[in-house]
């Protein structure tokens, strides 16, 4: 009997340990998931508020960047903490975050720029798309023989050219070390170069989207030279190039600010092919996009009704 007891000594502790390990990992995974969902909501609200500023400021990248960083108080309540966190991220990653302007694209300005409109007071020579009488503009484009009113360069119509669509990329450090190791392992499978760089550094790239109808004339601003706000068809500074750049700030843009040069990175327009980071972070927000599209459709219907009324008045005897 004594030998049997000696052989079973410690088996209960071993069984408890084997059962506790997966339970603890499951609990930690739940904490990680809750953190991701909370962060996802904060980033969505910050991006939506940035889009609201953009649609009323002619899609100015500096205004979008300033609004986004201001709305980060939902993550870090103290303004001083926001700047400290952004500097720390820039030092580690070279770029603390990035917003890509999906619409309007530069090709849309080539199709729909209105030569009768001047750019903003500080940039009067910028190409500008007319935000007024879009229904009448669409009919004119149809009469020019453009299929469905789509421009030959942009393959978009005037309504899409007057829509501001933004994509946010945000790096976040996972709470679990094992997640960090997994991200570094999978970094080589990601096509988006910026996301791959962040994953290689152990950060999970979150993606959020926002789309709103313009409430002002879109202007063809250059992207920010530091890479925080760029057009989706543009390249962005590499990590090595941005690590030595000064800390980001929300000060007004200089008059001589230019768009970032092509650096030979992978085509950033292929962001949707980066399914790994989107699915892993549970951050594909189709409902927000559908809601924005519905709002844009409602506004467009109102614009069509107003245009029809204008035509009726003009053609009345």
**Every domain of the chain and the residues it spans:** 22-306
Per-residue pLDDT tens digits of the chain, which is 317 residues long: 556 555 566 677 777 777 777 887 788 778 888 888 999 999 999 999 999 999 999 999 999 999 999 999 988 888 778 889 999 999 999 999 999 999 999 999 999 999 999 999 889 999 999 999 999 999 999 999 999 999 999 999 999 999 999 999 999 999 888 889 999 999 999 999 999 999 999 999 999 999 999 999 999 999 999 999 999 964 444 444 444 444 443 333 333 333 333 333 333 333 333 333 333 333 334 334 444 444 454 455 555 554 454 444 344 43
List helix spans (H) across the chain: 2-8, 11-56, 61-70, 79-93, 106-112, 134-143, 158-161, 177-186, 193-200, 239-243, 275-281, 286-315
Spatial separation of the C-alpha atoms in residues 285 and 41, rounded to whole Å:
10
Give pLDDT, residue 3.
Answer: 61
What's the Cα-to-Cα distance from 280 to each of 48, 232, 275, rounded to whole Å? 22, 22, 8
CB burial readout 71-102, b (16+ within 10 A) else e: bbeeeeeeeeebbeebeebbebbbbbbbbbbb
Neighbours of 314 (CB within 10 A): 7
What's the Cα-to-Cα distance from 45 to each of 41, 67, 70, 77, 288, rounded to whole Å? 6, 11, 12, 15, 10
Give pLDDT, residue 199.
Answer: 94
Spatial separation of the C-alpha atoms in residues 284 and 262, rounded to whole Å:
28
């Amino acid at each position: 009997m004594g030998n049997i007891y000696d052989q079973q000594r410690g088996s209960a502790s071993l069984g408890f340990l084997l059962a506790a390990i997966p339970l603890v990992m499951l609990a930690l995974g739940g904490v990680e998931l809750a953190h991701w969902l909370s962060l996802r909501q904060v980033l969505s609200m910050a991006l939506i508020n940035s889009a609201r500023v953009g649609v009323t400021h002619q899609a100015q990248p500096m205004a979008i960047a300033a609004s986004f960083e201001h709305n980060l108080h939902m993550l870090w309540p103290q303004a001083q903490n926001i700047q400290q966190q952004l500097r720390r991220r820039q030092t580690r990653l070279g770029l603390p975050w990035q917003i890509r302007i999906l619409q309007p694209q530069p090709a849309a300005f080539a199709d729909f720029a209105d030569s009768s409109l001047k750019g903003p007071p500080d940039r009067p020579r910028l190409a500008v798309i007319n935000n007024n009488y879009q229904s009448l503009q669409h009919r004119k484009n149809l009469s020019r023989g453009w299929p469905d009113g789509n421009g030959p360069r942009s393959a978009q119509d005037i309504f899409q050219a007057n829509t501001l669509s933004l994509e946010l990329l945000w790096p976040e450090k996972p709470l679990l070390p094992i997640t960090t190791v997994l991200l570094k392992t999978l970094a080589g499978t990601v096509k988006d170069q910026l996301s791959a760089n962040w994953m290689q550094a152990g950060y999970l790239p979150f993606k959020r989207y926002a789309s709103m109808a313009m409430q002002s004339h879109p202007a063809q601003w250059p992207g920010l030279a530091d890479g925080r706000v760029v057009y989706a068809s543009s390249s962005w500074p590499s990590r090595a190039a941005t690590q030595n750049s000064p800390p980001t700030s929300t000060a007004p843009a200089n008059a001589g600010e230019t768009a970032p040069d092509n650096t030979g990175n992978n085509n950033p327009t292929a962001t949707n092919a980066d399914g790994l980071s989107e699915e892993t972070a549970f951050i594909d927000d189709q409902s927000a996009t559908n809601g924005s599209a519905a709002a844009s459709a409602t506004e467009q219907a109102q614009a069509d009704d107003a245009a029809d009324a204008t035509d009726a008045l003009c053609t009345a005897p």
